[in-house]
C-alpha cells in the first residue's frame, strides 16, 4: 500500500491519489476544462463554407434527378455557372444541354469596341468577373477581322473579312453555343440571269429565342425600303420585297425585332415595320414631342413593348422615355422624364449624352456621356449605378444568351 493514502478501487484500477498526483492538484478539486482553441477568422469562414457545401450536397442527393433538373431549368444561366462548384454531380447536371436550353435568360452584358482601337470586348452587366462568352468571338475561324453590327435574341450579325478578299461575309453567330453560319450572297433564284448583288451597306437581324428554328436578315438594296432583300435561314434563300410608300432611306443601323416584325428608323418622324416575309408593311408615328433632327433619339424593346426615347439638348438634355402600349391606336405613353446631367452630377448642362439601351425585362436604362462615364438608371426607384468611369466602356450592343439549337447547317 502506498504511504499516506488508502487504496480505493476505481475504474481501470486507478486511485484518486494517483489522479491527484498526475495533475498536481489535491484530491477533490475540480479540474478546469482545457481552453477551446481559437481559429483565425479566415479559417472559421472556410469551415462555414465547407459546412454549407456539405449541406447543399446532402440536399442535392436527397432530390430525385427528374425534379432537380426541372428546378435547375428555371434558374438563370449565371446561377447555373455558380452551382457547378457545389459538387461533381452538380457540375454534370448544370452542364446538361437540355437544362441550359430551358433556363431563363436575361441581359448579361454588352458587346463593345475598345475606345482606342477595334478590339472587340464584352462588359458584364455587374461590371465584375470574367466575360460569360468569348469576347473576341475567336470561334469564327478563318477570318482576319470582324465587326459586330447587330445583336438580337442571343445571336449576333457580323461582317467578317479575310485579308486577301475584297468582299466581306455576313455571318450570324451564337456566342453562347459558338455556332455560326455564313449568309449567302444576295441572289434571287426566281429572277432570270440574276447576278449576285454587292453586299448591302445596312443589314438587320431578326431572331426570336422563343421560336429558335430560324432567323431572318433584312437588307435594303439601295438604302431605301421600296426595294428590300429578305433572307430566311429556314429556306436558305433570299426573297425580294418592298413598299412603294416607303421610298425613304433607313437612317441608322438600329432596329428592334418584336412580335415577328422588324422595326426600323427612317428619314421621317416615323418607325417603319415589316413582317418576316415582307408582306405586311406599316408605319408608326413617333411621339409628337420627339424632335429627331435636333436630339439623340433611339428605340428598343422592354417587357414585350416597343419603347422610344429622346434626349433634348434644347431642354438642358432632358431624357424622355415613351412606351407604345397599343399598336392599333399608335398612341405613345410618356413613361419617364429626367435630367441627364443631374444623373452624372455634371455642373454644365450642355454636352453630349446618349441612352444606348433599355433592359429587356426591367425599367432600367443605360446612358453614357461619351467621354469617361457610363451608368444605369432605374426609372422605378430613381437609383443610379455607375458602370464605368475610365472611358473603356461607352456603350455597346446588349446581349442576352441563347442556348437553343438554331442551325441545321453551319459551323
Give me the pLDDT at residue 147, please.
93
Give me the pLDDT at residue 252, please.
86
Give me the pLDDT at residue 25, please.
47
- Which among 382, 308, 298, 370 is positioned nearest to 342, based on CA atoms? 382
What is the rounded CA–CA span in Å between residue 232 and residue 83?
A: 38
Give me the pLDDT at residue 26, please.
47
What is the rounded CA–CA span in Å between residue 220 and residue 242?
A: 9
Q: How many residues does the chain have?
A: 411
What is the rounded CA–CA span in Å between residue 41 and residue 23?
A: 33
How many other C-beta atoms are found inside a 10 Å radius of the C-beta of residue 297? 23
Contact 300, 358 (CB under 8 A): yes
pTM: 0.77
* Joined grid coordinates for residue 220: 435594303
Give me the pLDDT at residue 406, please.
64
What is the rounded CA–CA span in Å between residue 147 and residue 157?
A: 9
115: left (phi over 0), alpha (psi -120 to 50) or beta: alpha
Per-residue tens of pLDDT for the chain, all 411 residues: 444 444 444 444 444 444 444 444 444 455 666 555 555 666 767 666 666 655 555 555 555 566 766 676 666 666 766 777 777 877 777 777 666 666 657 899 999 988 777 789 999 987 777 787 899 999 999 999 999 999 999 999 999 999 887 789 999 999 998 999 999 999 886 666 666 777 788 999 999 987 888 899 999 998 899 999 999 999 999 999 999 988 888 988 899 999 999 999 998 889 999 999 999 999 999 998 886 555 567 999 999 999 999 999 889 999 999 999 988 888 999 999 999 999 999 887 788 999 999 999 999 999 999 999 999 999 999 999 999 999 999 999 999 998 877 655 566
**Tally of helices (H runs) and strands (E runs) in the chain:** 7, 23
Contact 371, 69 (CB under 8 A): no
How many other C-beta atoms are found inside a 10 Å radius of the C-beta of residue 19? 13
Contact 76, 103 (CB under 8 A): yes
Instruction: Look at the block and give the residue holding cell 489522479.
Output: 19
Give me the pLDDT at residue 146, please.
93
Give me the pLDDT at residue 393, please.
93
Amino acid at each position: 500500500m502506498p504511504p499516506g493514502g488508502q487504496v480505493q478501487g476505481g475504474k481501470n484500477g486507478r486511485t484518486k491519489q494517483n489522479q491527484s498526483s498526475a495533475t498536481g492538484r489535491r484530491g477533490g478539486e475540480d479540474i478546469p476544462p482545457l481552453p477551446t482553441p481559437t481559429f483565425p477568422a479566415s479559417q472559421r469562414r472556410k469551415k462555414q463554407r465547407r459546412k454549407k457545401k456539405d449541406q447543399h450536397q446532402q440536399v442535392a442527393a436527397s432530390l430525385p434527378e427528374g425534379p432537380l433538373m426541372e428546378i435547375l431549368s428555371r434558374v438563370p444561366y449565371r446561377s447555373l455557372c455558380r452551382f457547378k462548384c457545389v459538387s461533381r454531380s452538380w457540375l454534370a447536371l448544370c452542364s446538361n444541354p437540355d437544362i441550359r436550353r430551358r433556363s431563363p435568360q436575361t441581359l448579361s452584358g454588352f458587346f463593345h469596341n475598345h475606345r482606342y482601337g477595334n478590339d472587340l470586348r464584352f462588359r458584364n452587366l455587374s461590371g465584375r468577373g470574367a466575360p460569360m462568352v468569348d469576347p473576341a468571338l475567336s470561334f469564327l475561324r478563318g477570318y482576319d477581322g470582324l465587326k459586330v453590327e447587330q445583336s438580337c435574341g442571343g445571336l449576333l450579325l457580323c461582317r467578317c473579312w479575310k485579308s486577301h478578299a475584297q468582299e466581306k461575309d455576313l455571318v450570324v453567330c451564337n456566342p453562347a453555343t459558338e455556332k455560326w453560319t455564313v449568309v449567302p450572297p444576295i441572289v434571287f433564284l426566281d429572277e432570270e440571269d440574276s447576278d449576285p448583288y454587292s453586299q448591302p451597306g445596312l443589314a438587320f437581324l431578326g431572331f426570336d429565342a422563343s421560336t429558335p428554328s430560324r432567323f431572318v436578315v433584312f437588307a435594303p438594296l439601295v438604302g431605301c425600303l421600296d426595294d428590300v432583300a429578305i433572307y430566311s435561314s429556314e429556306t436558305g434563300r433570299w426573297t425580294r420585297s418592298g413598299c412603294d410608300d416607303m421610298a425613304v432611306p433607313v437612317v441608322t443601323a438600329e432596329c428592334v425585332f418584336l412580335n415577328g416584325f422588324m422595326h426600323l428608323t427612317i428619314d421621317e418622324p416615323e418607325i417603319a415595320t415589316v413582317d418576316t416575309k415582307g408582306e405586311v408593311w406599316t408605319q408608326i408615328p413617333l411621339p409628337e414631342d420627339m424632335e429627331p433632327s435636333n436630339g439623340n433619339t433611339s428605340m428598343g424593346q422592354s417587357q414585350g413593348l416597343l419603347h422610344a426615347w429622346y434626349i433634348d439638348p434644347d431642354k438642358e438634355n432632358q431624357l424622355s422615355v415613351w412606351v407604345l402600349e397599343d399598336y392599333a391606336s399608335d398612341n405613345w405613353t410618356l413613361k419617364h422624364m429626367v435630367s441627364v446631367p443631374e444623373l452624372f452630377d455634371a455642373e454644365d448642362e450642355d454636352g453630349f449624352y446618349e441612352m444606348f439601351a433599355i433592359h429587356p425585362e426591367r425599367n432600367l436604362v443605360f446612358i453614357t456621356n461619351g467621354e469617361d462615364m457610363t451608368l444605369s438608371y432605374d426609372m422605378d426607384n430613381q437609383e443610379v449605378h455607375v458602370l464605368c468611369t475610365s472611358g473603356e466602356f461607352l456603350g455597346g450592343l446588349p446581349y442576352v444568351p441563347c442556348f437553343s439549337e438554331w442551325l441545321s447547317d453551319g459551323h
